[in-house]
Amino acid sequence: MAGDYVVGCKHCEEAFVKASFAVDDFEIIDLTPSPASTIEDKEWWRRYLEEGYNLLLEGPPGEGKSRMAYQIADQLVSEGWEAIYIDGGPHVGAKDLLGGVSIRGGSTTYRPGLLLKAFMQAEKGQKVVVVIDELPRIPVREQGILVASLFPKWIGGKRVFTLSVPELGRTFFAPAENLWFIATGNLGEGYVNSALSDKALEERFASETIKMSLNQVQTLLTELVVKRGFSPSLAQKLVKVREKMEKAYAEGAVATFLSYRQLERAVKLARKEEEVPQLLVKYYSRDIEERAVLEKALQGVFT
């Protein structure tokens, strides 16, 4: 039996330890977005699904939007849904969404794109969640395809999504309850490709701002510093720094949000605890004035 080999196999055990570490790393710790952080409900996102609104997770970089989108999809997959993932970016073309003709061994076949696959599955009765990471980075033309297909229409007394595929000369109809779209993006001023192609696409989503609460940052950092063998007080200090920088950001003193990703990176890459503050400055921003604000915040907390 395969299991027999695992017992007493040192490498297997090591591999298992590594694997479980990775699994730990992806544990859902808190899926509550900060504006609603007082809400106990960890499955806050379910009302968007139940009310039939596509969900757009927006907010500053490095605060967990993508991870949250994937975790929500994971949860649905565990309930029998299928998940389809689209990585947004300038490389996304109509062919990636709708598909195209391909020639294989002399015969031509139509290979459906990711969006069409979702529709075909949903048409058949399968529930499908489509995760579109970095939606605003998708080119305007392809955003146009989404505008057309992401809003349910009433046809024959039923709510359906429709997708027209000109190359096939066919429109696909998917019952609205079988399809759900979750997207992520940094919207607003100061972000590259920060715009959705038009207001209509924005309206196809209900949006939720994702920014970790101080509590959540505290929980995650504490776990991280303990894993690294650093003292738990380091996490507390970093939370204070984050708090100060949040204030500086709100007041407009800095344009760069001190993200959870930056905090995480400094803790993970420091060879010793004392290195964390300087690494944080290093990874925070290229702007000298912004760095000075962070240095001041660090001095106030670390001395």
Ligand X SMILES: Nc1ncnc2c1ncn2[C@@H]1O[C@H](COP(=O)(O)OP(=O)(O)OP(=O)(O)O)[C@@H](O)[C@H]1O
Q: How many CB atoms lie within 10 A of CB 302?
A: 14
How far does Cα 115 stand from its chain's mean position? 18
* Cβ closest to Mg ion, residue 143 vs residue 178: 143
Structure tokens that stand for 143 in this block: 């955003």
Structure tokens that stand for 185 in this block: 């993006």
CB of 219 to ligand X, least distance (A): 9
> How far is 190 from 109, CA to CA, in rounded Å?
44
CB of 136 to ligand X, least distance (A): 10
Asked if residue 118 lies in contact with residue 84, where contact means CB atoms within 8 angstroms, the answer is yes
Q: Which does 261 bind (CB under 5 to 8 A by kind): Mg ion, ligand X, none?
A: ligand X
> How far is 275 from 8, CA to CA, in rounded Å?
39
Residue 117 binds ligand X, judged by CB under 6 A = no
Asked if residue 76 lies in contact with residue 33, where contact means CB atoms within 8 angstroms, the answer is no
Q: What residues numbered 191-250 form the site for ligand X, per CB under 6 A?
A: 220
DSSP bridge partners of 82: 128
Residue 137 binds ligand X, judged by CB under 6 A = no
Residue 33 binds ligand X, judged by CB under 6 A = no
Residue 262 binds ligand X, judged by CB under 6 A = no
Spell out a b/e string for 209-247, using b for 16 or more CB atoms within 10 Å of the CB, else e. bbbbbeebbbbbbbbbbeeeebeeebbebbbbbbebbbe
Q: Which does 33 bind (CB under 5 to 8 A by kind): Mg ion, ligand X, none?
A: none
Which of 34, 149, 178, 184 is close enough to bind ligand X by CB under 6 A?
184
Region from 38-46, 57-65, 116-124, 249-257 binding ligand X, contact rule CB under 6 A: 57-65
Residue 72 binds ligand X, judged by CB under 6 A = no
CB of 260 to Mg ion, least distance (A): 12
Which of 54, 66, 143, 256 is close enough to bind Mg ion by CB under 5 A?
66
Asked if residue 101 lies in contact with residue 109, where contact means CB atoms within 8 angstroms, the answer is yes
Interacting residues with Mg ion (CB under 5 A): 66
Interacting residues with ligand X (CB under 6 A): 29, 61-67, 184, 186, 220, 260-261, 264
